[in-house]
Structure 1
Amino acid sequence: MASAPQANLPLFYKDLTPLNSRDHANWRSKSVDKAPWIAQQHAIPLTTDEFAQAQRHFPIVFSSGDNPVPLALLGLHEGVNVFFKDDGEALEDAYVPAYARRYPFLLAKLDAKNDNMSLCFDPSSDLIGDFKEGRELFKESEPTEHTQEVLQFCQRFEEAGRRTQNFVEELKKADLLMDGEVAIQRGDDSDKPFIYRGFQMINQDKLREVRGDLLRTWNQSGMLPLIFAHLFSLDRMRVIFAKQVEQGKGPAAEAAKSDAKKKN
């Protein structure tokens, strides 16, 4: 259900090009009211800086595999997103993860021999180009205030990413992550629940056994609130499930249609 993004290119990105004043002197970026790159995505990476806001809207889980990352679930099945229409129009005023808001920009290493990172963008996106309208990226070969703001946003995202990685490493060190499973009853006369797997979550039994000195350390570092934000957010699974049925998306909706045909 929740797999990590592809290793070769990050989720959403089809290609990457360094932004520079020579090739993009007259380019501009534009704002849009639709985000089609999000519409078919059911899971989006999330940083720990966002847990407090995100847990009000989405279940927060961890991807499967040896290198898990936190994910905001916008749907319970591949290709299902209950917060956006197919054309990318938002269905409600929900929190949008920073990972999605930074698109089409991101910081990337251009040289594997050093750690310097450059501001890059996805050239396949129609959000940036040689437009007549939009916000200028360069003026007299210098980055505009808008470009500086984009760079700062991407830098803050990278910093939050490092904090998130440290958080996950602490969870792994304490052996708190386990394979997740959630059973949701359909709410009709069927006695067979839908079972969701393919993600990781914190093992509450092991959490209760964590010794006091470690708990104090986690409390002082701010790690405990993050753990509880994740655990509390899991109740949103049922909300997402209900939205899928209401919108006619996912296996639950197909099962409901099948049952209705049988009754008729």
Structure 2
Amino acid sequence: MASAPQTTLPLFYNDLMPLNSRDHVNYRVKRVDGLTWLVNQHAVPLTSDEFIQAQRDYPIVFSSGEGGVPLALMGLNEGVNAFVGDDGKLTEDVYVPAYARRYPYLLARLTPEAEELSLCFDPTSKAIGEFKDGDPLFDSEGKPGQPIQSALDFCEQFEQAGARTQALIEELNKHDLLMDGEIAITANANPEKPYIYRGFKMVNEEKLRDLDAETAKTWVANGIMAIIFAHLFSLQLMSNVFSRQMAQGKVPEGQPEPAA
């Protein structure tokens, strides 16, 4: 069984393998106990479709450098997830980004020249394998079963949301609205030495206020403005996440590492 060719594997994935009836006809998928792939992951990619829901639980920022990928911050420090325990279970009922729910499946090109995307999976996942229990991926005739169709539908919807997210980023960059972010959080134990978090981008509110009327009107109509405000409102949750880390003893001493 050959793995799908890749140079850099996406976050969470240890390997990628094309799903096919020849090699995986006896494979089954079963429910796993906990989102173990989220353990120690502090920043999870987010689509623009999810901003309204995610902003209730997490700060939403954009990655620094080129691309400006939206990220839901489940922790403010590298290797810290304040919402997922070491067993992979959520510590409370919060929104789980689609990027994390998509795992272990992924749509990928099997060759650089391929125009179509193929459904792949991470063979190291404990959710898929030649198990005695679980739902079969293929029927007795080798045709894709419901688990494959559900995974394919979800991944296709994710790809479409990803295209809309890219369009959003292009609009923000077109109007030069993303700036380097910085958040200072003061801990009660040491109020004279705040924790400074950098390494991410955020929307520049001053430039947003100066946006021309025609663009602003268009963004209100197509929903971009609501997405931007969800991002800005979510930044108030930085201190909430910090407090969760403090309560869990997961705030490193001294200057913290970048938030994203």
The structural deviation recorded for 1:69 is 0.3
Distance (whole Å) between structure 1 residues aligned to residue 136 and residue 236 of structure 2? 44
Kindly indicate whether the alpha-carbon contact (under 8 Å) linking 2:105 and 2:121 is maintained by their aligned counterparts in 1: yes
Moved over 2 A (4+): 187-190
Matches within 5 A, 1:85-104: 85-104=85-104
In the alignment, structure 1 residue 17 sits paired with structure 2 residue 17: yes
> 1:3 matched to which residue of 2?
none
Matches within 5 A, 1:91-240: 91-139=91-139, 140-188=141-189, 190-240=191-241
Matches within 5 A, 1:20-35: 20-35=20-35
Distance (whole Å) between structure 2 residues aligned to residue 67 and residue 137 of structure 1? 35
The structural deviation recorded for 1:187 is 2.4
Q: Which amino acid aligns with 1:47?
A: T
Distance (whole Å) between structure 1 residues aligned to residue 185 and residue 128 of structure 2? 42
Structure 1 residues 180-201: Cα deviation after superposition (integer angstroms, max 9, x where no partner): 0001111235322111000000
Unaligned stretches of 5+ in structure 1?
1-5, 256-264
Q: Which amino acid aligns with 2:102?
A: R
Distance (whole Å) between structure 2 residues aligned to residue 176 and residue 187 of structure 1? 34
The structural deviation recorded for 1:90 is 1.3
Distance (whole Å) between structure 2 residues aligned to residue 122 and residue 195 of structure 1? 37
Unaligned stretches of 5+ in structure 2?
1-5, 255-260
Structure 1 residues 112-162: Cα deviation after superposition (integer angstroms, max 9, x where no partner): 213200000011111100001011100020001121011000000000000
SS at match of 1:112: coil
The alpha-carbon distance between structure 1 residues 242 and 206, as it changes in their structure 2 partners (threshold 3 A), is same
Determine what percentage of the aligned residue pairs are the same residue. 58
Distance (whole Å) between structure 2 residues aligned to residue 64 and residue 7 of structure 1? 21
> 1:258 matched to which residue of 2?
none
Number of aligned positions between the proteins: 248
Matches within 5 A, 1:65-76: 65-76=65-76
> 1:48 matched to which residue of 2?
48
The structural deviation recorded for 1:111 is 2.1
Distance (whole Å) between structure 1 residues aligned to residue 31 and residue 166 of structure 2? 31
Q: Which amino acid aligns with 1:42?
A: H
Distance (whole Å) between structure 2 residues aligned to residue 197 and residue 90 of structure 1? 26
Distance (whole Å) between structure 1 residues aligned to residue 117 and residue 90 of structure 2? 32
Q: Which amino acid aligns with 2:125?
A: S
Structure 1 residues 6-52: Cα deviation after superposition (integer angstroms, max 9, x where no partner): 97110000110000001000100111231111011000000011111
Kindly indicate whether the alpha-carbon contact (under 8 Å) linking 2:62 and 2:69 is maintained by their aligned counterparts in 1: yes
| TM-score, scaled to structure 1 | 0.91
RMSD, matched Cα: 1.3
